[in-house]
């Protein structure tokens, strides 16, 4: 895999998809449908999916591709594949709350090694560079001309005063019960894969997810967090979260900065 070309293409496609999403987001109204699993999908999901899929297939025709909106047709046995959530945080989008992202990632041998997370309504973009280290690009963004970037790195946690980030749309009692095992200084809520990025930048120390997610929800954020020195482990046994699972469903997990004294489930 040519990482230099991959990073350039992923970044450009994320920005182009973000422009398309914002065009629909800022319109007077948009169509919302319900998928077979009862989750919502909008015309923005579908437009972004078409744009990103076409771009990735043109640039990397020999690499398997998994996208949320085409998931029913996927049966990936490849060890290396691209995985896309064209609009992560559809509920945030529908409710016009802004916490939605474009997620594009490369998985190699079960590990997300490169990724981009773009939050167009928030004006924030995070990605791994050619070496796999994570950066945040400062806007304004131009698809063909990367702007100024700054390296990002996870926090050095204080276990007596942890910063926790949790889901905005999927917060439940089980999540609160687990968070209550820690000494928490401050709590943030965020939608979509932005939660991984807040841990990656040191704005939070830990993000526990006690709820359903799919691999396309997490791969890009996982790659960004790993490139900033963070880790993502299963909730039940604290072993690394791996990708390429049958059906692409994730177990519960914890994303965190090393140094957090992880509590048992």
Annotated binding site for substrate: 68, 87-90, 217
CA-to-CA separations, 95 to 30, 92, 152, 194, in angstroms, rounded: 11, 5, 30, 17
CA-to-CA separations, 235 to 2, 87, 211, 250, in angstroms, rounded: 33, 25, 10, 10
* Token duo for residue 197: 């990025």
* Token duo for residue 177: 């019960």
**Do 105 and 219 form a contact (C-beta atoms < 8 A)?**
yes
CA distance 50 to 48: 5
Per the annotation, binding residues for Mg(2+) are 68, 85, 87-88, 217
Per the annotation, binding residues are 68, 85, 87-90, 217
**Do 17 and 51 form a contact (C-beta atoms < 8 A)?**
yes
């Amino acid at each position: 895999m040519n990482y230099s070309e991959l990073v350039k293409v992923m970044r450009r496609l994320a920005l182009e998809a973000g422009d398309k999403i914002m065009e629909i987001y800022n319109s007077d109204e948009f169509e919302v449908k319900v998928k077979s699993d009862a989750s919502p999908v909008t015309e923005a999901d579908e437009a972004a999916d078409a744009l990103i899929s076409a771009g990735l297939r043109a640039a990397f025709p020999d690499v398997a591709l998994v996208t949320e909106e085409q998931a029913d047709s996927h049966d990936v046995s490849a060890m290396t594949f691209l995985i896309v959530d064209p609009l992560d945080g559809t509920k945030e989008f529908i409710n016009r709350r802004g916490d939605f992202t474009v997620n594009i990632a490369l998985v190699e041998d079960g590990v997300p090694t490169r990724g981009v997370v773009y939050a167009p309504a928030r004006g924030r973009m995070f990605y791994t560079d050619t070496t796999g280290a994570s950066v945040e690009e400062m806007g304004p963004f131009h698809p063909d001309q990367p702007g100024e970037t700054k390296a990002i790195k996870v926090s050095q946690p204080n276990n007596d005063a942890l910063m926790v980030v949790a889901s905005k749309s999927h917060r439940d009692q089980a999540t609160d019960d687990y968070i209550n095992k820690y000494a928490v200084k401050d709590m943030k809520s965020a939608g979509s894969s932005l939660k991984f990025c807040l841990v990656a930048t040191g704005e939070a120390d830990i993000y526990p997810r006690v709820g359903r997610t799919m691999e396309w929800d997490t791969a890009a954020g996982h790659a960004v967090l790993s490139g900033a020195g963070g880790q993502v482990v299963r909730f039940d046994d604290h072993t690394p979260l791996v990708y390429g699972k049958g059906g692409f469903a994730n177990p519960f997990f914890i994303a965190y900065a090393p140094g957090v004294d992880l509590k048992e489930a």
